[in-house]
Structure 1
Amino acid sequence: MLKKSFQSVLTTWFAGLLVLLPLTLTLILLAWLFGLLNSLVGPSTVIGRLFAALGQPFSSSPSLSYLLGTLVLLAAIYALGLAVQLGLKRPLARMTDVTLRRIPVFNKLYNLAERFVALLDKKEGADIEAMSPVWCFFGGKGVAVLALLPNPEPVEIDGRSYFAVLVPTAPIPVGGGLLYVPIDWVKPANMGIDAFTSIYVSMGINPPRVAAVEADAARE
């Protein structure tokens, strides 16, 4: 009896711990990020003093100068972003080519940093949004798999036409396996990419209601 009571208390305690743990880990991560940013661009760092210098014309208080300088820098970056969106990107690239890229050592460092930023600038869902959801019936009338068609042009393999299809993994549809499937095994899924992603992210909890009916009809 006492053992069962202890197990019940322990189970309840672990249930509360599991609910509290994600919040605790999130706060710890935020505290670590705040400490890292403070050590890199805080008021006592070289960059922080530059921020304070930008804000000194507006305030004599060191803390307020640092805050105002940070806001001025953020506003300047936002204005630069607007200029790039309005067509300034190419002139800036040309100016970089005739200046920074001609410095012997600096050009290699700049090229490396530019490649890294290009990886960060790549939109996560852009590749998926360019694909078309399809049903793949393996064996012609076998297992139905919801997949993506990246290219509507077939590929000739050993005298037979195939479609390259990407079969995603649930619940992360940005990865998966690339398969070459005979074109007569592939049917349009007649759904949007949002519905397709919802099915995979939910691991099948959100069923393809309309699409499943249409696919069955097409298969018959």
Structure 2
Amino acid sequence: MKKVNLKNNPKLKDIRKVFITGTFTFLPIAVTISLVFWLFNKVDYIFRGPLERLLGFPLYGVGIIITLLLIFLTGIFATDVLGKKIFKGFENVMYKIPLVGMIYSSVKQVVDAFAAKKGDGFKNTVLVQYPSRGIYTLGFVTTNSPSFINEHTGEEGVFVFIPTTPNPTSGMLITVPKDEIIYLDISIENALKIIVSGGIVAPKENLGSCKIE
């Protein structure tokens, strides 16, 4: 009986290649769809749950529709002169509530930083040695560290936000001495692409030293 060499069989190699290609093509699609459906169900249930308990039958999709309408109406209202004053008053109330004010202020500042177009959010993309010496991590300069911190460290520092992968809106805030920061000539948008993709998407930019005052 003739022995078949499976390793050198061209047909089996083609099947293996097709299967691997299919796996790596299908996997990101499947993960994306799963995350979208998970988020959809979470947001949808916020409003769907109470309505279903009230009416006694399922209402899939109504929650996400209501959420989108609320976002749209909030946007319209917030761009109006009267709406801006009302939201400002609402924010002032939120800031005065213990714990709630701290959470709201922190979340708002992070969201504003990611949404900022020019100079109001992150200032620079940088490399810092974090969490230990010899390990370099991408981060974003937010502002100079206050004097009460500099007095304890004995040197001038800056606040650097270290985002996490794949969700860059969460992360760590650290203080780094100015002379230990490596400023990179790469946009914050492209740096975020690197972080979100886990380094898979690496824009071809000149990573030279560049500090934007």
TM range, normalised to the smaller chain? 0.3 to 0.5
- TM-score, with normalisation over the residues of structure 1? 0.45
* Structure with more helix by fraction: 1
- TM-score, with normalisation over the residues of structure 2? 0.46
